[in-house]
Amino acid sequence: MTIGTLVLLRHGESVWNAKNLFTGWVDVDLTEKGEAEARRAGELLRSADVLPDVLHTSLQRRAIRTAELALDAADRHWIPVHRSWRLNERHYGALQGKDKKQTLQEYGEEQFMLWRRSYDIPPPPIDPADEFSQAGDPRYAAVPAPLAECLADVVDRALPYWYDAIVPDLLLGKTVLVAAHGNSLRALVKHLDNISATDIAGLNIPTGFPLRYELDEELRPVKSEYLDPAGAAQAAAAVANQGR
Ligand SMILES: O=C(O)[C@@H](CO)OP(=O)(O)O
């Protein structure tokens, strides 16, 4: 028996996705293409009759706006919303604001991929005086904001929110939409699908494609699929190739 439906949605293309810059906690907006991706995600939800009862997002504009546009397109703009820094993108440390292609050329393939996709090697910490630091940002005043994170750090800070805020909604049988980011969603997928620290390196989440999970009473996935599997696979391959 399935108990709840979970929909994971990475934000639509952001201005810095389009410029190929490491983004992390920098609060960039969506491009026009990203807005269109968000609306299409909502249309996919509506045509698949996957209608969210509650939304959980990060504190970042690109996820918040994606959820708004998608829910509007699905006529679910009115559902309750919860936001947490624990769903934020992975903090990319001193790489925030750096060009991915230039970083690849400067540091080489191995180091570039260790920073992007290794499980437990964080990028160098950001200097609080860096123009792309979040020091002094009021939304993080009361949280233990990191200076850099590896994916393992994201798993550690996202799972308390999973158990405390998302799971209770799922256990009530709700359809839960989580609008977040490439790496915070990779952390949740790693947990849900029990993916090893090695294999998670190969998982990429495309912008703007709803990923639906049907979960049993113990929150184990019974079924999971993108609502547009072919489009999602193509877009995920493009994420994997960023910087090349
Ligand atoms: O820059 C970032 O914050 C993330 C997501 O866009 O990039 P990557 O896919 O390289 O981890």
CB-ligand 1 contact for 186 (6 Å cutoff): no
CB-ligand 1 contact for 89 (6 Å cutoff): yes
What is d(CA 221, CA 54) in angstroms, rounded to the nearest whole number? Answer: 19
pTM over 0.95: yes
CA dist list (Å): 43 to 5, 52, 179: 17, 12, 15
CB-ligand 1 contact for 182 (6 Å cutoff): yes
Residue 196 marked in a binding site: no
Q: Three-class SS of residue 42?
A: helix
Residue 12 marked in a binding site: yes
**Which tens digit of pLDDT belongs to each residue from 3-62?**
889 999 999 999 999 999 999 999 999 999 999 999 999 999 999 999 999 999 999 999
CA–centroid distance for 99 within its chain? 20
Taking only Cα atoms into account, the Rg of the chain, rounded to an integer number of angstroms, comes to 17
CA–centroid distance for 81 within its chain? 17
- ipTM (interface pTM): 0.96
How many Cβ atoms sit within 10 Å of the Cβ of residue 183? 23
Assigned CATH for 2-240: 3.40.50.1240
In the prediction, which pLDDT does 1 show?
Answer: 67
Q: Three-class SS of residue 39?
A: helix
